[in-house]
């Protein structure tokens, strides 16, 4: 940063604090602060003195809170390089605790972040280039305690002694938006390495992310909400993962996008990044439509998609129901047929049948509670969703309804039945059904993003900030998956919340000795669970006292 003087047409001089910004080979000056105008040299001298102090203050704002504490060195420098305490006398009664910082998340999340080669993931010509460090702290904070950008700035100080202004976080997000495709590529590269470059199946699903907003634009739109937030704008997120919920990629769409139309677009985007022809794509029944299946056949993509059994042609449905009727339903049974030159595989599960029966009985019981005289239900009192309406028959008066006993009976015939449609020819029916059952892994991925990382509601409104927010959450998700996968391979099964809880208990106290003018770091001792996390990830933690 430097002082810039601009001569005006009226003879006055404007004094600015500016910063050089490089855009390719071109360097421009960006105004950081306007300090006003002066009319003579004496006024200029006064304002220049203030400018020097302001520049020093602005530079200090992005520095560590504690003097002498470099967050990069303090949290990530190898423990073997720590300075041992010299043989000096310390008056314990005079020691002062300057700070107590959480170091577990920085040591574990931070070192895994570095191992995944994310430290220089933002490609920018801006000098000085500290955006990658700002992004890293934003991602680590998102994992540790996901909050707004303002609160993120505050907790970086409180938890880690790192001072990053909220405006700096927002400017960093603009750099993330510029690099969002590069971020996806680096995450995919890490995922491939984690899977030994062998992906045999990917799982695809869609969710909606709402805003605390009612104003539409090109991205934020009203649409069908999977979270029942129909009165708020939203975006549609399509996510693709491999086994174990390992991220493969994602796409973001306007909130009014029909989820079935996202599949082919996502397949085309990801097909260019790895050989999708050798991968079986698994998706739920929302993706089952003729156009999607035909297009994936054209692209040479193998797939397993849930079938909407009750919407199949009458001849096929009769075949399925006959299969169900003629079996005792005491075991796991499979029937295979053909539908539009594809394999239709239907299986029966007693556990699923029990669940289907109980779900229907619960719904019918709720409807019966609303019965009035004449066994009629007022339409105005109905719960307005298809699950309720399908078991009702509206009377000719259009204001009342009765239970549709025929519909209840016909639905019961399908209890326990589930079907998939596939173009895979060289796998058994059971293997393909088992692959579909693994679709829960992408549902778990959405749960982590929505609950543990609090991806929604989104509080940004600019397109680039919205996309940057999703990219930051995606980076945080990939770090979490990397950690959980390595812990699982070491025989340690911990939820995200438990990992986070254990690492927040790994702390360091910074003590200042007024007599020797030295600062000492006193680390906490690891408990057995924390030791297991560190050892499984190959991370060292120094428990002896050292000084900085």
Q: Tell me if 208 sits within 8 A of 225, measured CB to CB.
A: yes
Query: What pLDDT does 179 receive?
Result: 94
- Check whether 128 has a pLDDT greater than 60: no
Q: Tell me if 296 sits within 8 A of 270, measured CB to CB.
A: no
- Check whether 212 has a pLDDT greater than 90: no
Question: What is the Cα–Cα distance from 438 to 420, expressed in whole angstroms?
Answer: 13
> 476: burial class by Cβ within 10 Å (0-12, 13-18, 19+)?
buried
Half-sphere exposure of 192 (CA within 13 A, CB side): 12
Buried/exposed 486-497: b ≥16 CB within 10 Å, e otherwise: bbeeeebebebe
Query: What pLDDT does 274 receive?
Result: 63
- Which of 450, 514, 507 lies closest to 209 in space, CA to CA? 450
Question: What is the Cα–Cα distance from 120 to 503, expressed in whole angstroms?
Answer: 25
Q: What is the DSSP letter of 82?
A: S
Residue, of 276 and 152, whose pLDDT is higher? 152
- Check whether 244 has a pLDDT greater than 90: no
Question: What is the Cα–Cα distance from 217 to 223, expressed in whole angstroms?
Answer: 13
Reported as a single tens digit per residue, the pLDDT across 262-277 is 888 878 777 766 655 5
Question: pTM for the whole thing?
Answer: 0.77
Confidence of residue 256 (pLDDT cuts 50, 70, 90): confident
Reported as a single tens digit per residue, the pLDDT across 26-72 is 667 777 777 778 788 877 877 777 777 777 666 545 444 444 455 55
- Check whether 88 has a pLDDT greater than 60: yes
- Which of 546, 521, 504 lies closest to 108 in space, CA to CA? 504
> 353: burial class by Cβ within 10 Å (0-12, 13-18, 19+)?
middle
Question: What is the Cα–Cα distance from 261 to 196, expressed in whole angstroms?
Answer: 31
> 548: burial class by Cβ within 10 Å (0-12, 13-18, 19+)?
middle
- Which of 255, 252, 171 lies closest to 213 in space, CA to CA? 255
Mind giving me the DSSP string for 290-347?
Answer: HHHHHHHHHHT-EEEEE--GGGS-HHHHHHHHHHHHTS-SSS-EEEEEEETTEEEEEE
Sequence-distant (6+) residues with CB within 8 A of 7 are 13
Confidence of residue 380 (pLDDT cuts 50, 70, 90): low
Q: Tell me if 48 sits within 8 A of 15, measured CB to CB.
A: yes
Q: Dig out the tokens for 244 from the structure.
A: 């174990």
Reported as a single tens digit per residue, the pLDDT across 221-237 is 888 777 667 778 899 99
Confidence of residue 535 (pLDDT cuts 50, 70, 90): very high
Which range, of 36-40, 83-87, 102-106, 229-233, averages the lowest pLDDT?
83-87
Query: What pLDDT does 78 receive?
Result: 44
5, β-bridge pairs: 15
Question: What is the Cα–Cα distance from 535 to 539, expressed in whole angstroms?
Answer: 6
Cα–Cα–Cα angle for 401, 366, 360, rounded to 5 degrees: 95
Query: What pLDDT does 68 receive?
Result: 42
- Check whether 80 has a pLDDT greater than 50: no
Q: Tell me if 221 sits within 8 A of 234, measured CB to CB.
A: yes
The residues spanned by each domain of the chain are 2-61, 351-412
| Distances, alpha carbon 509 to alpha carbons 71, 108, 228, in Å | 14, 18, 46
Residue with tokens 């397949």: 267
SS3 content of the chain, % helix, strand, coil (to 5): 45, 20, 30
* H-state helical runs in 11-165: 41-61, 71-76, 104-115, 131-144, 149-160
Q: Tell me if 333 sits within 8 A of 347, measured CB to CB.
A: yes
Query: What pLDDT does 109 receive?
Result: 94
């Amino acid at each position: 940063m430097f002082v810039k003087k601009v001569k005006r047409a009226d003879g006055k001089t404007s004094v600015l604090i500016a910063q050089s910004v490089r855009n390719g080979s071109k360097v421009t000056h960006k105004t950081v602060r306007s300090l006003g105008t002066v009319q003579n040299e004496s006024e200029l001298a006064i304002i220049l003195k203030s400018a020097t102090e302001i520049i020093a203050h602005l530079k200090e704002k992005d520095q560590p809170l504690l003097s002498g504490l470099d967050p990069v060195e303090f949290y990530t420098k190898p423990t073997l390089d720590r300075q041992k305490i010299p043989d000096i006398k310390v008056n314990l009664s005079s020691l002062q605790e300057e700070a107590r910082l959480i170091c577990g998340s920085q040591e574990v999340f931070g070192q895994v972040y570095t191992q995944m080669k994310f430290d220089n993931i933002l490609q920018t010509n801006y000098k000085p280039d500290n955006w990658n460090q700002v992004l890293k702290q934003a991602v680590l904070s998102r994992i540790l305690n996901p909050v707004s950008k303002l609160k993120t700035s505050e907790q970086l100080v409180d938890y880690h002694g790192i001072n990053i202004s909220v405006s700096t976080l927002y400017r960093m997000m603009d750099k993330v938006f510029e690099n969002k495709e590069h971020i996806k590529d680096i995450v995919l590269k890490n995922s491939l390495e984690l899977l030994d470059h062998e992906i045999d199946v990917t799982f695809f699903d869609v969710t909606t992310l709402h805003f605390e907003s009612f104003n539409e634009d090109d991205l934020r739109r009203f649409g069908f909400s999977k979270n029942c937030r129909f009165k708020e704008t939203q975006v549609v997120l399509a996510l693709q993962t491999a086994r174990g919920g390992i991220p493969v990629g994602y796409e973001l769409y306007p909130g009014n996008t029909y989820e079935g139309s996202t599949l082919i677009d996502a397949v085309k985007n990801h097909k260019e990044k790895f050989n999708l022809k050798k991968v079986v794509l698994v998706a739920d029944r929302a993706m089952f439509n003729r156009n999607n299946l035909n297009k994936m056949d054209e692209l040479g993509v193998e797939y397993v998609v849930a079938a909407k059994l009750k919407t199949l042609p009458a001849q096929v449905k009769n075949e399925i129901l006959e299969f169900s009727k003629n079996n005792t339903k005491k075991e796991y049974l499979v029937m295979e047929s053909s539908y539009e030159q594809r394999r239709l595989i239907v299986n029966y599960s007693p556990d699923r049948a029990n669940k289907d029966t109980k779900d229907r009985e619960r719904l019918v019981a709720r409807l019966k509670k609303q019965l009035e005289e004449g066994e009629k239900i007022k339409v105005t009192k109905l719960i307005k969703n298809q699950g309720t309406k399908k078991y009702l028959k509206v009377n000719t008066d259009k204001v009342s309804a009765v239970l549709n006993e025929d519909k209840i009976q016909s639905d019961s015939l399908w209890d326990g039945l589930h079907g998939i449609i596939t173009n895979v020819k060289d796998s058994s029916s059971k293997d393909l059904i088992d692959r579909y059952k693994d679709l829960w892994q992408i549902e778990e991925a959405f749960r982590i993003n929505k609950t543990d990382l609090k991806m929604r509601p989104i509080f940004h409104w600019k397109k680039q900030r919205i996309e940057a927010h999703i990219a930051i959450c995606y980076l945080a998700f990939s770090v979490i998956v990397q950690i959980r996968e390595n812990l699982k391979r070491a025989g340690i099964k911990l939820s995200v919340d438990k990992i986070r809880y254990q690492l927040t208990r790994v702390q360091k106290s910074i003590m200042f000795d007024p007599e020797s003018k030295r600062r000492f770091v006193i680390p906490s001792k690891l408990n057995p669970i924390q030791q297991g996390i560190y050892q499984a990830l190959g991370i060292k933690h120094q428990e002896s006292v050292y000084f900085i």
